Amino acid sequence: MQRTSAADVIGYCGLVFTEKGPPGEPELAFELLQAVHNHGYATEAGQAVIAWAEQLGCRRLWATVWDWNVASRRLLATLGFCETGRTEPETVHGRSLLTVRE
């Protein structure tokens, strides 16, 4: 992700194909530098990537999020993702929750 006003890189947002969902159903992945949190960049980028995924014919998207990452959980809810109740095995970073957007 790059801000046009400042021409600097502030993070990434895109689709990755993982084994978290069924074959052909990508995962939305995003991460921004902390200095640019709370400016709406993640929401804007997420909406753009979702629109692109819809144009490609993706009917469902997945995303994982750390259980302690309240801001990212809120963002995913804003983008239309729902928590599935499924989790990944706990790691040193915590527990990862699986979300889906139909």
- Entry pTM: 0.87
Rounded to the nearest angstrom, the gap between the alpha carbon of residue 83 and the centroid of all alpha carbons in its chain is 12
Does the pLDDT of residue 2 top 60, yes or no? no
Mean pLDDT of the chain: 90
**What pLDDT is stored for residue 3 in this prediction?**
64
- What's the whole-number mean pLDDT along residues 80-89? 93
CA distance 66 to 61: 17
Residues linked to residue 61 through DSSP beta bridges, in sequence order: 101
Indicate the pLDDT class of residue 13, thresholds 50, 70 and 90: very high
Residue 85 parent element (H or E): strand 82-87
Share of the chain above pLDDT 70, in %: 96
